[in-house]
Amino acid sequence: MLRFLLLSALLLSAAIFQAESHGDHGDGGGGSCEADPNVRVTAEFRPGLVSVDGHPDEWAEVEGSELPLLPALDPDTDKAYPSGKITVKALHDGNSVFFLMQVDGKYAYSKGENTKCPSVALMFQVGENASYHNMGGCPDMPGKCTSKSCYGHEVDIMHFSIGSAIPGRLYGGNPIDNRDGIGGDRFGHLVDVYAWNPHCRFLDGKGPSANTSNAQNDWQGAWWHSSITFHSGLIEEDSPYSTNGQKGTYYFEFSRPLRTMDRFQQDVQFVIGQPSKVAIALWYPTGGKPWSGSQHYSASCQWLPLDIMSTSIGSLSGVQSKNSWDAATAFSLLLSVVSFCLSIFIGYWVSRSKAIPFTPIDRM
């Protein structure tokens, strides 16, 4: 009886540990374009780790998601971006969220010509009915769409076109465009945009009928390519900064406050501990030919979940504390099993040794 109890307790605890160790999933790259529920972008709480300078070094220990890049309008694996997958990393410091996108690609830079340089965008769901397809999916035609008729279909877009941006320098929100109350960026074209569908797309603060006047460009970002060797302060005269056609990796780094002062559904609002929805796009001037707006690669054919984590998991210290927690749990479980068996044994022993002999009632 005692042996049976002990054995079943041990089997039970072994089963629990099996289940726990299988509960963990790493973020893997989905091979196909179909939405893979395990593919997500995770922003852990890692304050003081990165500076937005386009350099990836500080991100080395942050785990990323590797995603295939397929043509957004024709997601055919045969037409994937030829130089490989895009790696997306994210983290937050309690105030701002940070993103790093890195993708292999031969150096292509043509000063002042955005469409002859690579370009990246992040799109976020704002309205609850905003679809990934058709940038929010409002059915209204251009000229007809208004903030009322397309309510619920808002998406927030950050688009960085690097034709006038010096590598390693910060672009995006700046005092001049922010004073005008629009999401533009006259210096580096890192713009803050919202849309209801591809034809109804506006800089934050602008609209089909009126400007809202209080908008801001809340994004900042920088870019770099691994073939650029000069690290301490490039200036415009150094353009094109590297030699066109050189093999290497492009890096795009961004930050945005978790919350903004938007009052018109033009910015996504991030909440720590709550998931958001993101999509990632890349434009590349294949063969030196300029790209057009709709001609881009997408890292998914659906929204990807983006988790703004409330704690840091998966970091070295996180893993250690998780292991010690498991050990403590195992020990207390073992202790409780032992004491449970002991109490049964004592009860059994007491009832046996001090048993009052059975006395049939008819003898009394």
Binding site for ligand NAG (CB under 6 A): 127-129, 151-152, 180, 182, 206, 210-211
Nearer to ligand NAG, 151 or 349 (CB): 151
144 near 207, Cβ under 8 Å?
no
Tokens of 324: 């010690």
276 near 306, Cβ under 8 Å?
yes
Q: At what angle do helices 2-22 and 316-353 cross, to 10 degrees?
A: 170
Nearer to ligand NAG, 180 or 307 (CB): 180
| Shortest distance in whole angstroms from residue 27 CB to ligand NAG | 30
| Shortest distance in whole angstroms from residue 333 CB to ligand NAG | 47
280 near 88, Cβ under 8 Å?
yes
Nearer to ligand NAG, 129 or 214 (CB): 129
| Shortest distance in whole angstroms from residue 210 CB to ligand NAG | 5
| Shortest distance in whole angstroms from residue 238 CB to ligand NAG | 32
Q: How far apart are CA 78 and CA 358, in angstroms?
A: 85
Nearer to ligand NAG, 105 or 137 (CB): 137
When CB distances to ligand NAG are compared, the closest residue is 152
| Shortest distance in whole angstroms from residue 133 CB to ligand NAG | 15
Q: How far apart are CA 242 and CA 54, in angstroms?
A: 15
Q: How far apart are CA 141 and CA 160, in angstroms?
A: 26
Nearer to ligand NAG, 108 or 126 (CB): 126
Q: How far apart are CA 275 and CA 87, in angstroms?
A: 20
| Shortest distance in whole angstroms from residue 290 CB to ligand NAG | 27
Nearest C-alpha neighbor of 122 from the set 41, 200, 53 = 41
Cβ within 8 Å of residue 81, ≥6 positions away: 68, 69, 70, 103, 282, 284, 297
Nearer to ligand NAG, 151 or 230 (CB): 151
